[in-house]
Structure 1
Amino acid sequence: MTLVTDTDAPRIALVGATGAVGNTLIQLIEERGFRYRDINLVASARSAGRELTVDGRSHRVHALEDFDFSETDIAFFSAGGSVSEQWVPKAVAQGALVIDNTSAFRMDPDTPLVVPQVNSHELDQRPASGIIANPNCSTIPLVRLLRPIEDRWGIRQAVVSTYQAASGRGHSGVTELQKASAITLEDPAAENPTEEFSPTLAFNVIPSIDRMLEDGFTFEELKMLQESRKILGIPHLDVTTTCVRVPVVNCHSEAAWIECHNPVDRQELVDLLAEQSEVTVHDREVVGAFPTPRTAVDQPDHVHVGRVRVSPHNPRGFWLWLVADNLRIGAALNAIQIAEALLLKGTLQAEGTPQAEEAR
């Protein structure tokens, strides 16, 4: 049981608790034994009053519009960018430290953008903004691999194609894919629902995620560039991507071409990646072995890597194929690991906050 009376344990709120990431956060709190002394589930007014279970206890969902964050230490926001833009500043003003899963504050210079396995030093002190941003679901597994590569060989450029699952659009995205697939199997000429994906994602791939920008790239592709630079602390890192939605329920995949400043030995590269925390290299023993979204579920909290290929014509360049659970690694798990690191470092409280005064 992770509900405790210890006053060192935080009081937490999950905003967007009824969504896909919110549900995953609840699951991870239970699985990881994340200790808390109070928990509040928060969502939009239309979800208020629902009952969700955490650690065997039933909790009524509160309406965000009426919720008071003054008795919250950590607020996890997973309800969309527009919700975060409106409500995160209010939660911070009431004393909560916010871990935000949206793009709303990622590029704010006063807000650290954190992947604990990469830049946990950003958590050594409470941020001035009162917010810690969670990166994009495709950026997180990528930078976890780029960090040791940069440290060993230096990176000249990374060219990445993503293959992103329907769950990136939440419960509604998965439901629409399943419904559209059933309709198409029954009648290939029938009209499919397109509220979440247009054109339909059923038996299809869509090379466009998020809004289109004037230069022809999408905002999703821009996020991967900007976020990788900020997390790794390399302002001029050359990362270019094509982000594609594919008819997969869960787990994002990526094909990454990485060119380094120095020649790369394949065996050393494989060993280096395998040494990383929560990374599984599938072709360490059998060259060419690879993970898929269906096999990655066996270790849902690992970044899975395969098809490691150093170019025979350019030994400074190599390919990686990676798969990661976008709801866990790409969102909820990273958020929980941020909170765990804050508690381990003892930097949750800040002088002058209501919580700090109470802790005295």
Structure 2
Amino acid sequence: MTPARSSAPALAVVGATGAVGSVLLRILSQRADVWGTIRLIASARSAGRTLAVRAEETEVLALTEDAFDGLGPGDVVVFLTPAEVSARWAPVVATRGAVVVDQSAAFREDPEVPLVVPEVNGHAVRMRPRGIVAGPDCVTAAMIAALGALHAEYSLADLAVSSYQAAGAAGRAGTEVLRRQLSLVAGTSLGEQPGDVRRAVGEDTGPFAAPLALNVVPWSGELREGGWSSHELAVRSETRRILGLERLPVSVTCVQVPVLTGHSLTVRARFEKVVDAAHARDILKSAPGVVLVDDPAAGEFPTPADAAGTDPAWVGRVRASLDEPRALEFFVCADNLRKGAALNATQIAELIAGERA
């Protein structure tokens, strides 16, 4: 017999035991409680574990169809899983009437699935013919709140960005391999001669294309036509979709750096209107999801160490272009696990929960 439904929607988290899932569970304990029951789901190897949710121990269920029993219209299921898992299970959940919030790449290109960052296009969450809402890649999420606020004032014309991506974006495997590599090269003169770091690290590059310790790796993703990476093209496509600018010229270079948590980006945005840097700073100060830290004379600018463990995108080094009066340049950092994934998924889920009120 199906239990009586609470007036508050239920929330299920698939991938609850992963790196992003752990962050999302912490976020739930820090925000207003809009949920009835909270259900935790993960792979079979994690089933039976208990995790603290809202100060209560909750058992993790194995990912099977039975795990979604009792979920229906008004309820929300967040997927924090690899794309192939989301592609397999999200439609199953949606056919039951629950709304899926998927943080993987499985549905980001689907025209029937809105790609949502609540600070920028939260209204799009209501237009979901497949019953699925997608969140963007963590690199896109890091910059898009600041960029969206500036676009609303000046109308974005083209964009060039370089990302400096933390190892944590590759999950626990990324952070673990960086820690191992750092232990191998710590306290040595490695890096002074060609090949030093590669010889010390050996084949232990993990999910990265080259050793990350004492290094910078200008690659993320799979090779695509023209020498672009899949990750670079994804950031381009996602930015266009979220801002509603289908033909926006976007150039992206993705770079991995030896940072555990926190993505950073340099951004050069050219607009349709002439940009006043002082006014742009005022816009960023009041933009939701953004903190402005911009006083280089006092040594105040954002770094990923500042952003780690925090909700907003941190913006600084805001300056007018030297050769283009319609262009603005700035630097932005955000916690890739929190702002870039878990928080965005939580905010989308809360918007959907609010529809039931």
CA contact (8 A) 2:145 2:288 kept: no
Residue 265 of structure 2 is aligned to residue 254 of structure 1: yes
Deviation of 1:246 after TM superposition, in Å, equals 0.7
Alignment equivalent of 2:225, drawn from 214, 235, 247:
214
2:39 pairs with 1:40 = yes
Instruction: Report the alpha carbon displacement of residue 122 of structure 1 after superposing the two structures with TM.
Output: 1.1
Q: Deviations for 1:130-162, whole angstroms, at most 9, x for unmatched residues?
A: 100011111123221222222222222110000
Selected match of 2:215 from 196, 204, 216: 204
Q: What residue number does 2:137 align with?
A: 136
Cα separation, 1, equivalents of 2:299 and 2:326: 19
Contact 1:14–1:42 (8 Å) recurs in 2: yes
2:149: which partner in 1? 148
What is aligned with 2:178?
Answer: 177
In the alignment, which residue of structure 1 is the partner of 2:330?
320
CA contact (8 A) 2:119 2:289 kept: no
Paired residue for 1:351?
none
Once the 2 structures are TM-superposed, how far is the Cα of residue 123 of structure 1 from its aligned partner?
2.4
Matched with 2:111 is 109
- Work out which of the residue numbers 326, 340, 344 in structure 2 matches 1:334: 344
Using the alignment, how far apart are the partners of 1:344 and 1:284 within structure 2?
39
CA distance in 1, matches of 2:20, 2:81: 9
The whole-number CA distance in structure 2 between the counterparts of 1:282 and 1:200 is: 32
Looking at structure 1, the residues matched to 308 and 144 of structure 2 have their Cα atoms a distance apart, in angstroms, of 21
**What amino acid is aligned across from residue 227 of structure 2 in structure 1?**
G
Provide the rounded CA distance (Å) in 2 between the counterparts of 1:194 and 1:311: 38
Residue among 226, 232, 244 paired with 1:233: 244
* Structure 1 residue 287: Cα displacement: 7.6
The runs of 5 or more residues in structure 1 that have no matched partner are: 348-360
Please tell me the residue identity of whatever aligns with 2:102: D
Q: Displacement, 1:181? A: 0.7
Kindly provide the CA deviation profile for residues 247-289 of structure 1, in whole angstroms up to 9, marking residues without a partner as x: 1010100000111122211111110111111311111695873
> 2:28 — aligned with what?
29
Computed over aligned residues only, the root mean square deviation of the Cα atoms, in angstroms, reads 2.0
User: What SS does the aligned partner of 2:91 have?
Assistant: helix
- Counterpart of 1:164 in structure 2: which amino acid? Q
- Structure 2's unaligned 5+ residue stretches are 191-198
2:274 paired with 1:274: no
- Does 1:93 pair with 2:91? no
Conserved? CA contact 1:77–1:99, under 8 Å:
yes
Distance 1:36 1:344, change over 3 A: closer
Q: Work out the CA distance in 2 between the residues paired with 1:94 and 1:86.
A: 14
Q: Match for residue 80 of structure 1?
A: 82
1:289 aligns with 2:300: yes
Q: Secondary structure at the match of 1:36?
A: coil
CA deviations 1:14-42 (Å, max 9, x no partner) are 11111111101101011113332212211
Deviation track 1:310-358 (CA, whole Å, cap 9, x = no partner) reads 02322211211000111111111011111112222438xxxxxxxxxxx
Q: Deviations over 1:218-267 (max 9, x none)?
A: 11111111111111111111111001111101010000011112221111
TM-score by length of 2: 0.90
Contact residue 70 and residue 96 of structure 1 kept, 8 A: no
The count of residues paired between Structure 1 and Structure 2 equals 341
For 1:150, give the aligned amino acid. Answer: H
Separation (CA, whole Å) in 1 of partners of 2:23 and 2:328: 34
TM-score normalised by L of structure 1: 0.89
The alpha-carbon deviation at position 66 of structure 1 amounts to 5.2
Quick one: distance in 2 between partners of 1:34 and 1:100? 21
Shift of 1:49: 1.9
> Displacement, 1:186?
6.2
Which amino acid in 2 is paired with 1:165?
A
1:68 alignment partner in structure 2: 67
2:161 maps to which residue?
Answer: 160
Q: Which amino acid aligns with 1:234?
A: L
**Which residue is equivalent to 2:195?**
none
Query: Does the 8 A contact of 1:289 with 1:307 survive in 2?
Result: no
> 1:21 and 1:163 mapped to 2: Cα distance?
19
Q: SS state of the match for residue 140, structure 1?
A: helix
SS across alignment from 1:215: helix
Partners of 1:92 and 1:101 lie apart in 2 by: 15
